[in-house]
Amino acid sequence: MKLIETAFVILVSALALTEAAAQNMPANNKIKAEIKYTSKDFPVSDIGHKSWAKAKEVVISKYWSGKAAPPGRQFKAKLLWSDTAIYVRFEANQTEPLIISDVPNLKTKTDKLWDRDVCEIFLAPKRNDRRKYYEFEIAPNGEWTDLFIDYTGTERRTDWRYKSGMDSFAAIEKNTVLMAIRIEWKAFGTEPKAGDIWLGNLLRCIGKDPDRGYLAWSPTETEVPNFHVPEKFGEFEFVK
């Protein structure tokens, strides 16, 4: 009888440990993308630079809910990293009127840029601290914004004064918008090495209500559109 009781206690303890481990695992451990290394830095405006050919293409075809978005709203992203910076290139399908400012501000960050057409990337450098992350946005007319988010408490806190020094470029073509950003590692206070994994998401806002679209590489699956769900971040691996 004593042996049975002991075995039962061991089994219950093992199950508790398994459940605790599962709760501490990333909520999303399947969505991954590679950030390929480039030995040469180049201007963000060089949207056709040969280094982009080595970057793997990430296709974003779903809304935040997980539902498929129409082809005219889907977009692709490529990511590169160098010893100096991270590069992100967006190529977005555009078959509807653009929602952008007629007089773009290209000198400073634009407040509430997310209310217009934008592509975004969220980046959390520390896997064990995913609720502290950076948000970078770029619009088809070249407007941009950069923010630091601290969601470690019950409320999301945004550092509006954060300055990354990011470079941006955008070009509107027929049925397509090309956008790119370049952010130096000093903006993060750390820099990666080959094999490191950062967390984050690739996102797009397009159109206007009542048919505004919110696309996400890693769908957040919330009841209403919400990109700020760190538990749903995918993985970005730095590859050399």
**Residues 65-121 pLDDT 10s:** 999 999 999 999 999 999 999 999 999 999 999 999 999 999 999 999 999 999 999
- The string of pLDDT tens digits covering residues 151-195 is 999 999 999 999 999 999 999 999 999 999 999 999 999 999 999
User: What end-to-end distance do the CA atoms of the chain give, in Å?
Assistant: 58
DSSP single-letter state for residue 26: -
- 142 φ, ψ (degrees, to nearest 5): 95, -5
- pLDDT at res. 30: 78
Assess whether pLDDT exceeds 70 at residue 22: no
**pLDDT tier, 15 (very low <50, low <70, confident <90, very high otherwise):** very low
- Give residue 202's domain range: 30-239
Q: Is residue 14 part of a domain?
A: no
Average pLDDT over residues 132-136: 98
- pLDDT at res. 113: 97
Percent of the chain exceeding pLDDT 70 equals: 88
- The string of pLDDT tens digits covering residues 33-71 is 999 999 999 999 999 999 999 999 999 999 999 999 999
Q: Is residue 15 part of a domain?
A: no
Name the residue with tokens 């918008």. 177
Assess whether pLDDT exceeds 60 at residue 4: no
Average pLDDT over residues 110-137: 97
Specify the amino acid at residue 158: T
Assess whether pLDDT exceeds 80 at residue 29: no
Q: Is residue 10 part of a domain?
A: no
Q: Is residue 69 part of a domain?
A: yes
Q: Is residue 9 part of a domain?
A: no
- pLDDT at res. 16: 39
Q: What Å distances lie between residue 214 and 23, 71, 101, 132, 205, CA to CA?
A: 28, 13, 19, 22, 5
DSSP single-letter state for residue 51: G
Report the domain count for the chain: 1
**CATH number of the domain within which 89 lies:** 2.60.40.1190
Q: Is residue 48 part of a domain?
A: yes
Q: How far apart are CA 140 and CA 98, in angstroms?
A: 8
Q: How far apart are CA 30 and CA 38, in angstroms?
A: 26
In this structure, are residues 100 and 143 in contact, taking their beta carbons and an 8 Å threshold? Answer: yes
- The string of pLDDT tens digits covering residues 199-234 is 999 999 999 999 999 999 999 999 999 999 999 999
DSSP single-letter state for residue 63: B
DSSP string, 186-230: GGTT----TT-EEEEEEEEEES-TTS-EEEESS----SS-----G
